[in-house]
């Protein structure tokens, strides 16, 4: 059965999704909408699609809607999609706040609709290689680790960088989903966390491109350090920052009782994964796995197969809501200066060894 997909949001990331989804026999893209009709029309012309208004998309034949609008729009657009009786797959974060994310999850459950959420890099070759090492006990029980995302912010490369410094984004809500989702995929849910946060500059000046020289008001912390205690007992220190020019940390390190795993960049599908036992030499994972290059869209594809096969989809609403709570609670913990306990939990998604079918 082919699943009909509609897309809302025709900006920067839409071409990556379209490159993946238009090659899938399982999926037919029935239309693309954007608040700026000219943007939808340009993307539609590029990929041979039909541009339409959001209202037309909701009234049309799409069974699943891919919501790739900016974070502040995820909730309103998502609620409208679910209220129109269509399954929903959101870009990350699930919503700008935990309360909004919770509403989406509740509505999807009430309407018996699927709700999925990025990042689907969790299903990529790199993440699955780490997961296989953890599950095989290659380095023993994981007791600790670190995760680092640090750079000088997206104002250097993104054509519309303002939203990255607003509520629902910042390094934690924009990049944190990759790191936290990968950690939860490997280790299971978080029980408790304790964080600190800093806003280093209240204003950023766009350094290059069409908007060079324009200032952006910063609304959220641009450096956050959150110490995560997992239900498994592992403790991992997560650092995210838009304030750092250069560094040499590994994106994700997992420390086991019998060795160490060095993960790849969780914003990517593939990458080098290494591990060592005790003080032995580093070994590189050589096994071949699917999804090594930019495959944004495979989370939605997994959801499409899951609907047909009546099985849980991997990039699930419970998983994304838990990740969102980890982010919101980290900011709250930093404000309150104390450790906080999570109210949500989730299952680890099923591992993925072969291409989706
Ligand atoms: N750019 C990337 O490389 C990238 C990578 C991964 C994830 N993402 C995520 O994808 C989402 C979109 O990012 P982007 O980089 O494409 O942003 P963008 O600003 O380039 O594009 C977003 C588009 O959504 C449209 N839009 C905004 N509000 C809308 C609404 N209410 N209804 C319909 N259309 C609306 C805008 O007009 C714009 O064309 C964000 O959640 C971001 O975190 C982006």
**Digitized pLDDT (tens) for each residue of the chain, 357 residues in all:** 899 999 999 999 999 999 999 999 999 999 999 999 999 999 999 999 999 999 999 999 999 999 999 999 999 999 999 999 999 999 999 999 999 999 999 999 999 999 999 999 999 999 999 999 999 999 999 999 999 999 999 988 888 899 899 998 999 999 999 999 999 999 999 999 999 999 999 999 998 888 899 999 999 999 999 999 999 999 999 999 999 999 999 999 999 999 999 999 999 999 999 999 999 999 999 999 999 999 999 999 999 999 999 999 999 999 999 999 999 999 999 999 999 999 999 999 999 989 999
Cα gap 185→241, rounded to integer Å: 22
- Residue 210 pLDDT: 86
CA distances (Å), origin 25, targets 268, 308, 326: 24, 14, 36
Ligand 1: which of 6, 8, 10, 12 to mutate, judged by most atoms within 8 Å of the beta carbon?
12
pTM as predicted: 0.97
Q: Looking at residue 3, what DSSP letter applies?
A: E
162 Cβ below 6 A of ligand 1: no
Q: Looking at residue 146, what DSSP letter applies?
A: E
- Residue 220 pLDDT: 97
Q: Which atom of ligand 1 is nearest to the CA of 34?
A: 34
72 Cβ below 6 A of ligand 1: no
135 Cα to the center of ligand 1, angstroms:
35
69 Cα to the center of ligand 1, angstroms:
4
From atom 6 of ligand 1, which residue's Cα is the shortest distance away? Answer: 13
Tell me the Cα Rg of the chain: 20
- Residue 155 pLDDT: 87
73 Cβ below 6 A of ligand 1: yes
Cα gap 125→61, rounded to integer Å: 33
166 Cα to the center of ligand 1, angstroms:
13
Q: Which atom of ligand 1 is nearest to the CA of 91?
A: 41
105 Cα to the center of ligand 1, angstroms:
21
From atom 40 of ligand 1, which residue's Cα is the shortest distance away? Answer: 70
CA distances (Å), origin 164, targets 48, 97, 207, 292: 30, 15, 15, 27
Q: Which atom of ligand 1 is nearest to the CA of 163?
A: 19
68 Cβ below 6 A of ligand 1: yes
DSSP H/E element including 352? none
Q: Is 246 exposed, middle or buried (0-12, 13-18, 19+ CB in 10 A)?
A: exposed
Question: How big is the chain, counted in residues?
Answer: 357
């Amino acid at each position: 059965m082919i699943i009909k997909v509609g897309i809302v949001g025709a900006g920067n990331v839409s071409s990556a999704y379209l490159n993946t989804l238009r090659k899938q026999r399982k999926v037919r893209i029935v239309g693309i909408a954007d608040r700026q009709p000219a943007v939808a029309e340009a993307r539609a012309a590029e990929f041979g699609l039909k541009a339409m208004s959001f209202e037309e998309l909701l009234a049309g034949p799409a069974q699943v809607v891919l919501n790739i609008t900016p974070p502040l729009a995820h909730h309103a657009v998502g609620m409208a999609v679910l209220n129109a009786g269509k399954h929903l797959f959101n870009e990350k974060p699930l919503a700008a706040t935990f309360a909004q994310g919770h509403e989406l999850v509740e509505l999807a459950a009430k309407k018996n609709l699927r709700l999925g959420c990025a990042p689907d890099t969790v299903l990529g070759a790199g993440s699955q290689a780490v997961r296989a090492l953890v599950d095989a006990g290659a380095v023993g029980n994981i007791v600790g680790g670190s995760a680092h995302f640090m750079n000088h912010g997206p104002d250097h490369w993104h054509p519309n960088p303002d939203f990255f410094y607003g509520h629902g984004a910042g390094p934690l809500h924009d990049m944190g989903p990759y790191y936290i989702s990968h950690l939860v995929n490997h280790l299971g849910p978080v029980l408790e966390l304790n964080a600190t946060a800093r806003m280093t500059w209240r204003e950023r000046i766009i350094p290059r491109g069409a908007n060079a020289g324009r200032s952006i008001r910063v609304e959220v912390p641009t450096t956050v350090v959150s110490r995560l205690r997992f239900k498994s007992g592992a403790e991992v220190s997560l650092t995210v920052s838009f304030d750092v020019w250069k560094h040499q940390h590994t994106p994700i390190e997992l420390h086991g009782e019998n060795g160490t795993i060095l993960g790849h960049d969780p914003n990517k599908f593939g990458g080098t994964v290494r591990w060592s036992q005790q003080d032995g030499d580093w070994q590189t994972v050589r096994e071949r796995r699917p999804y090594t290059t930019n495959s944004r869209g495979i989370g939605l594809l997994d959801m499409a197969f899951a609907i047909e096969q009546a099985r849980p989809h991997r990039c699930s609403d419970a998983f994304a809501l838990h990740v969102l709570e980890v982010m919101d609670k980290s900011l709250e913990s930093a404000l309150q200066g104390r450790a906080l306990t999570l109210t949500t939990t989730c299952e680890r998604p099923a591992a993925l060894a072969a291409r989706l079918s």
